[in-house]
Structure formats: structure tokens, C-alpha cells
Amino acid sequence: MTSGVVRVGTSGWRYDGWRGDFYPAGLPQRRELEYVGEQFSTLELNGSFYSLQRPASFHHWRESVPEGFVFAVKGSRYVTHMLRLRHVETALANFFASGVLALGPSLGPVLWQLPERQEFHPELLAAFLALLPRSTGAALELARRHDDRLRDRSWLEIDEDRPIRHALEPRAESFHDAGELLREHGVAMVVADTAGRFPRFDELTAEFVYVRLHGAEELYHSGYTDAELDGWAELVRRWSRGAGDEPPRDVYVYFDNDARGHAPHDARALAIRTDA
């Protein structure tokens, strides 16, 4: 049986502490993403969480990495943290019109991270999941409904219609009851390691697995030991190969323990262990 594709990378790439450490001394900042593309097969774009980016930025990022590289894109916090998933159609249209589709074949999963205070409300979550476009063609149709804020800075083109995957990272215990709903919509429940700060969800709810490693001992700060990396590698292999009645799945893993510069080194170590 064919195994799923495993991709391992980091959440973001512009960190001062990486310069002269992960990044070679003297590497110009403008070439840092190019260097990431040489080391890994994926990267999580997190600037899109804080504000709407511009089409030129997405196009530049796509041009900076090799063919086959994939960007996960973090969904707007305006949708998740401010509107709290309510009345979000225009906000979603603006997000997808901002240049996300300019990534073309480099567009990977879209991550929706919820605030800790967001509890599981089945009707609310179902309505939100139903709005998410499952293809670039559907995303384009949604993007065309953007408001005036994107009037002079929208990207409304696709080269072909491709599937779009979505992942949800909740941070409230009540989402242990959300598995069936997520499975119905084919949305992955994120497997997040948060040093015990937030609940961990291990239920597989989609045809792929999305993992975020924020630190095992101290959130965003601690690195992963060899034993911990071995444990994650075993899980990744099991998910990608399938086990028992579970089919093989593509696996995306992103290290977000970047406060002390551990993320790229841990990502490289896990990629070696998993042949990613």
C-alpha cells in the first residue's frame, strides 16, 4: 500500500535568533526563505493570521521556493478571534482575495486556530465549516465577494482548480466532542503539543494529519529531546503508512518552538527521522 507524503517544516521563518545559527552567517535576509526552501519541503505562513497580506507578497514567496514546496497558510484571526466564527463570509472572502490563491500549486492546508475561550458549539462550527472553500475554484468564487478594503489589492486568478485542505486547532476541552462534525466536513483536527497548556486532540478526522509542535516542556521555548523526536517520528510513520483500519495519510508537521531558536533544528532532526 502506498504511504502518504510527509512534510516537516517550521511556523514562520523571520526570526532574528536564527541568523548566524540556522541561517549561515552573512546570508542576506532577502534569501532566508530561499534557504528554508532548500532545507525543508513546507512552511507555515503565520503573517496571514495577524493581517491581510498582499498578492505581491504571496507571489514573491512562491517564487522563492523550489517546485513541489508547499505553504500552509494560517487563517485570519479576524475570523477566528474577533468575529469568533460568526458572520464571517465577507471576512473569508477578503482573506482568500488577499493573495492566497497566488500561491498556485504551492498552496497547502489552511490552518484555523481558535482562541482558548472558544467553546464547541455544534451549530456555529457546522456553519463555519460549510463556508470553507474546498477547492481553489470555490475559493475564487468566494474571493470575488470581497469588500472595498480589497478593491485595489485583490488577487482573483487561478491557474487550475485544485483541492484545498483545512485544519482546525481548537484550544478548549469541549472540542473533544467535535470529531464527528469535523470528519463529516473532511477537516483535520490539529494534533498540537503545547507543554500541557492546552488540551491535545489525537482524533484523526480527515484524509491528512496536521501537527503543530509548540514545545514539550515550555510553550514556544523548549526544544525536543532525541527521545521525544523519536516518539513523534513513530507517530508520523504510523499515520503516513496507515495502521489497522486506518488508511495512509499525508502528514504535515510544523515546529512553533521558535522563541529560543529550536524550531528549525528540531524540524531538521524530525525530517531526517521520517525521510521527509
Range of the domain at 12: 6-274
Strand runs labelled E in the chain: 6-11, 42-45, 70-74, 107-113, 166-169, 188-189, 191-193, 208-213, 250-255
Per residue in 53-107, pLDDT (tens digit) is: 999 999 999 999 999 999 999 999 999 999 999 999 999 999 999 999 999 999 9
Query: Is 37 among the domain residues?
Result: yes
Between CA 43 and CA 245 the distance in angstroms is 30
Query: Is 207 among the domain residues?
Result: yes
Does the pLDDT of residue 1 top 70, yes or no?
no
Please report, for the domain that includes residue 233, its CATH number.
Answer: 3.20.20.410
What's the pLDDT score for residue 267? 98
Mean local confidence (pLDDT), 1-9 = 92
What's the pLDDT score for residue 244? 83
The total number of structural domains in the chain stands at 1
pTM (global) more than 0.75: yes
Per residue in 216-228, pLDDT (tens digit) is: 999 999 999 999 9
Mean local confidence (pLDDT), 192-218 = 97
Query: Is 1 among the domain residues?
Result: no
Average pLDDT, the chain: 97
Mean local confidence (pLDDT), 180-207 = 97
% residues pLDDT > 90 (the chain): 97
Per-residue three-class SS string for 51-117: CCCCHHHHHHHHHHCCCCCEEEEECCHHHHHHCCCCCCHHHHHHHHHCCHHHHHHHEEEEEEECCCC
Query: Is 146 among the domain residues?
Result: yes
Per residue in 127-168, pLDDT (tens digit) is: 999 999 999 999 999 999 999 999 899 999 999 999 999 999
Between CA 40 and CA 276 the distance in angstroms is 8
Query: Is 73 among the domain residues?
Result: yes
% residues pLDDT > 70 (the chain): 100
